[in-house]
Each structure stands twice: as structure tokens, then as C-alpha cells.
């Protein structure tokens, strides 16, 4: 059990401190609404500077584990806020977090002329004419959950095959491993719609049933829009959760 900071460790000190403090909170050593040691006490306890302490605490605050009150102290958040908020996740990660086994059935994978709506969302320059269209039925524990249509603006020369997708499952894992593309942010809109006959068939619900429509634009770490993706979720099998902060 390492509960001291090792200056020779590969990991930065503030990150080691985050790990130590998180462990104590999750082990219940400090109860919700109880004060943890002050920043100056943590300085002494772990032999780091106050800047480093504040870097660690700042991360814990953004993760929802603790909160600070000016002039009073640093406190452990109630359990409900300790649970990690929804971050930017792929469908697969999302399903795993919900305790369901993610699956997919690929309906189409093709290079297509980019529709105008997609051109705008991906901010395509005029010289880019085509994008990759990927349509899949996504499942959780084998049951249809959503109908997903992706439009991808991959870097020149990059390709994507059915085999890769079937083998690896997650598209984002392929982008990361093969092309070193990391996702940094996404803008998402949600609205209500009703199932067309085709959608109803694929999702195994009656036509006209209410669905949740999600539209996402995904941005790389270089803030290039790389994907526009729609997911039609079965209204009875999907709840969307998000944490808002001020």
C-alpha cells in the first residue's frame, strides 16, 4: 500500500496525491461532508508544495469527489456526487458502464458523397467530397438499443474495414490505435421523435413508438470535427444522464 509520494515515480506527484486521497475517500476513511486535511496540512503530510496540493485538490473537485468553502476547508462530497459523471464515451463504453454487453450489427460501411447537413456539421472544406458512412444496430446484452449512423471525415489515406470493426468493436479504439487520433470534446443534442417503419423494424418496436434522437459532433484533440453521428435510441430501453456544474 503506497500512501506516500514517490518523487522518482513516472507519475506526477499531484496525480499520485489524487490517487491517495481518492482511495481514502472511497474506503470511507473520510465520510461525506467531513473535512479532509487542509492544504497546508497536506503539504506537510505528503512533502509536496502547496501548488502541487492545489493541483491535486482541483482535480478532485472537477471529478466531484470534494468541494471547498472559502475560509472553512475542503470537504468530502456526498456519495451521489462522488459517482463519476458521464464523460465523453463511445457507445461501447456507455453500455459497459451500464453493465450491459455491447454488440453491433453492421448495416452499411461505404464511402458516400457527403450530404449538406453533414458538410456543415463537420465543416468540410470544398475539396473534400466524400465521407465514410457507417450504419449499425447497436445492442446491449443482445437486445437492440439504438440505430446508429456515423459520418466520418478520416484523415487522407485512412481506411476502415468491416473486419477491423467486427474484431475491435469500438470505432474510437481503432482511431486511437491506428491513427493516433484522440477525441477531446463533443457537442450533443437530444430530441424526441417517433419510429419510421424501417426504424421500427430494426429496433424491434411498433412503428410510431417514441424514440430518443441523439446527434453528436466529435472533435479531436486538435479540435477538428471528425465525426457526425446520429443515434436513435429505443425510448423504453435508454435513459440519458449528465452532470451539470456551474
Q: Exposed (0-12), middle (13-18) or buried (19+): which is 152, by Cβ within 10 Å?
A: buried
Q: Which does 111 bind (CB under 5 to 8 A by kind): a second copy, DNA, none?
A: none
Decide whether 110 or 190 has the Cβ nearer to a second copy: 190
> Min. distance of Cβ 157 from DNA in angstroms?
18
Rounded CA separation 199/1 (Å): 53
> Min. distance of Cβ 185 from a second copy in angstroms?
5
**Contact yes or no for 221/182 (Cβ under 8 A):** yes
Q: Which does 74 bind (CB under 5 to 8 A by kind): a second copy, DNA, none?
A: DNA
**Contact yes or no for 39/74 (Cβ under 8 A):** yes
Q: Which does 210 bind (CB under 5 to 8 A by kind): DNA, a second copy, none?
A: a second copy
> Min. distance of Cβ 48 from DNA in angstroms?
4
Rounded CA separation 34/22 (Å): 14
Instruction: Kindly give the residue spans of alpha helices, DSSP state H, lying in 29-156.
Output: 39-46, 50-62, 79-82, 91-97, 116-122
Rounded CA separation 117/217 (Å): 12
Asked if 199 is part of the footprint of a second copy (rule: CB under 8 A), the reply reads no
Among the listed residues 2, 4, 51, 196, the single contact to a second copy using CB under 8 A: 51
* Contact range with a second copy by CB under 8 A, out of 100-108, 141-149, 198-206, 216-224: 216-224
In the complex, the residues that contact a second copy under the rule CB under 8 A are 33, 51, 64, 67, 69, 75, 77-78, 80-81, 85-88, 123, 182-194, 210-212, 217, 219, 221-225, 235, 238-246
Amino acid at each position: 500500500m503506497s500512501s506516500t509520494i514517490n518523487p522518482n515515480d513516472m507519475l506526477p506527484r499531484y496525480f499520485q496525491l489524487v490517487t491517495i486521497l481518492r482511495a481514502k475517500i472511497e474506503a470511507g476513511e473520510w465520510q461525506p461532508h467531513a473535512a479532509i486535511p487542509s492544504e497546508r496540512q497536506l503539504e506537510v503530510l505528503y512533502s509536496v508544495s502547496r501548488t502541487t496540493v492545489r493541483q491535486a485538490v482541483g482535480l478532485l473537485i472537477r471529478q466531484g469527489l470534494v468541494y471547498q468553502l472559502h475560509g472553512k476547508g475542503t470537504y468530502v462530497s456526498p456519495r451521489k456526487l462522488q459517482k463519476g459523471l458521464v464523460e465523453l464515451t463511445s457507445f461501447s463504453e456507455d453500455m459497459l458502464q451500464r453493465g450491459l454487453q455491447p454488440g453491433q450489427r453492421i448495416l452499411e460501411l461505404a464511402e458516400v458523397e457527403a450530404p449538406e447537413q453533414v458538410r456543415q456539421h463537420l465543416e468540410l472544406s470544398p475539396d473534400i467530397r466524400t465521407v465514410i458512412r457507417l450504419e449499425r444496430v447497436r445492442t446491449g446484452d443482445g437486445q437492440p438499443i439504438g440505430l446508429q449512423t456515423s459520418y466520418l471525415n478520416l484523415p487522407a489515406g485512412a481506411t476502415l474495414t468491416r473486419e477491423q470493426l467486427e474484431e475491435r468493436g469500438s470505432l474510437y479504439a481503432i482511431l486511437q490505435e491506428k491513427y493516433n487520433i484522440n477525441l477531446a470534446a463533443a457537442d450533443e443534442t437530444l430530441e424526441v421523435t417517433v419510429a419510421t417503419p424501417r426504424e421500427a423494424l430494426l429496433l424491434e418496436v411498433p412503428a410510431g413508438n417514441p424514440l430518443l434522437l441523439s446527434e453528436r459532433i466529435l472533435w479531436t484533440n486538435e479540435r477538428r470535427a471528425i465525426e457526425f453521428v446520429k443515434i436513435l435510441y429505443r425510448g423504453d430501453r435508454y435513459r440519458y444522464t449528465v452532470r451539470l456544474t456551474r
